[in-house]
Amino acid sequence: MEPTLLPEQALAFYRAPTDYPELRNPRRALRGDAVNILKIALDADPSSVGAPSGIAGIDEWVAAARFFVEQVLLSPGADYYRVNGLPRGASAADLRENHRLLIRLLHPDRIKLDPDWQAAAAARANQAYATLRDPLTRAAYDHEIALERLARMRPETPEPGRPRHPSARPPAPIADLGRPGANSLQRRAWRNVPTIVLSLVLGAAIAWVGWLWLERERAAVLAGFDTGAPMIAAAPAPAPVAAVVLPPPAPRPEATPPRVEPAPPVPTPTPVAIATPPIVPVVVPPRPEPAPAAEPAPQPEPGAVLAPLAQRYAGGDLAGFMALFDAVARNETGGRAKIRSDYADLFSTTVRRNLAISGVSWVERGGIWNGQGSFQVTVQRRDENVLRRYTGVIRLEVATDGGRPLIRGIFHNVTGQTVEER
């Protein structure tokens, strides 16, 4: 279980934000869960989430929590974990809870802020949630963060002629947020003093032993020169070699040429008549023509499912809508039962719906067609007089082996949201 950021840490950051550069740095990961701060930002009682009483009023608690969300979680350049108020390695349940609270806080009916900023912040929160809730995309995103961290580990060389300002001080760690001005770097330096002293002593001892060994070797070499003994012994004189007298070679006998006998005459062969058999013609039957191959039955187009999908979505026809899905269909959060539950809730709570899918590119893999394109959804809820428009990327998996195309998977990622008054 991840540690939880204390509400008083948000209060201390609200009162003196310059004392905590670690929180203002969007590249630094949070060291705790900001769920309690998000609850206070939604007007929850500070004492119900463990905030100490007597150090601030309710209005200051709420202002501090919302300031923390704007300046820390939604700061420009913050990673997807920080946007959702979570440390890296948080569980899926914590991700869902924090995203739910953050979207409620960014709703235009909750807080009246700049509409463009609220829409952009909501899009960032949805993009971060869509990336982190899928294990595959989350693993790829964690790999990107690790590569960026390795790239930033290079030591930075200060510019020549630009000394560090004497008033600059190291950032306060997250654990000391309740005590502004705390300097943990000095405490860590004092803890390393014994190790540094021991290393210096060992280095001096090793150098002294090496000096003694070199002095002993030098003395031994000098002693050899003082005794006058030759450094290299003279080689003994070589022994005389006796002369060897070889006897004269014996005379070789003359060679007698061998006698060659004449070859006997070769008899002439008698010609023999060979009877030639008659040639019988061979009749080759004609080769049968191969039967024409049967043409394969035309396969249904996977894109044929898009038109009835949009039509039944707009009409709120749940039975006809689910008839377009395969028995093993799935989406981001579950299987066919979850898809039916989600769209039954959508159809029952809205009075107007429209779905447009365009630019779909299809690729066939193992009998399954994978398509990806863009979508635009417009809905109007029963208790609202506004049109909400969502845009993003949609991915479909369509099986066509049953005679007609059926949706086996539907996944979408919202990248934009607008609200239009009617």
Rounded mean pLDDT, 133-154: 88
Given this model, what pLDDT does residue 139 score? 94
What is the model's pTM? 0.39
Q: What is the mean pLDDT of the chain?
A: 79
pLDDT range class, residue 244, cuts 50, 70, 90: very low
Given this model, what pLDDT does residue 374 score? 92
pLDDT range class, residue 360, cuts 50, 70, 90: very high
pLDDT range class, residue 179, cuts 50, 70, 90: very low
**Roughly how many angstroms between the first and final C-alpha of the chain, as a whole number?**
46
CB 393 within 8 A of CB 413: yes
pLDDT above 90 covers what percent of the chain? 34
State the Cα–Cα distance between residues 127 and 294, nearest whole angstrom.
Answer: 50
Q: Which residue has the higher pLDDT, 57 or 163?
A: 57
What DSSP element (H or E) covers 329?
Answer: strand 325-330
State the Cα–Cα distance between residues 222 and 215, nearest whole angstrom.
Answer: 11
Q: Which has the minimum average pLDDT: 193-197, 245-249, 364-368, 382-386? A: 245-249
Q: Decide the pairing of beta strands 325-330 and 406-421.
A: parallel
Helix axes of 115-133 and 135-152: crossing angle, nearest 10 degrees? 100
C-alpha closest to that of 174 among 68, 38, 70, 29: 29
State the Cα–Cα distance between residues 117 and 92, nearest whole angstrom.
Answer: 27
What DSSP element (H or E) covers 167?
Answer: none
Task: Name beta bridge partners: 414.
Answer: 392
C-alpha closest to that of 130 among 120, 119, 141: 141
C-alpha closest to that of 414 among 139, 128, 70: 128
Q: Is 179 helix (H, G, I), strand (E, B) or coil?
A: coil
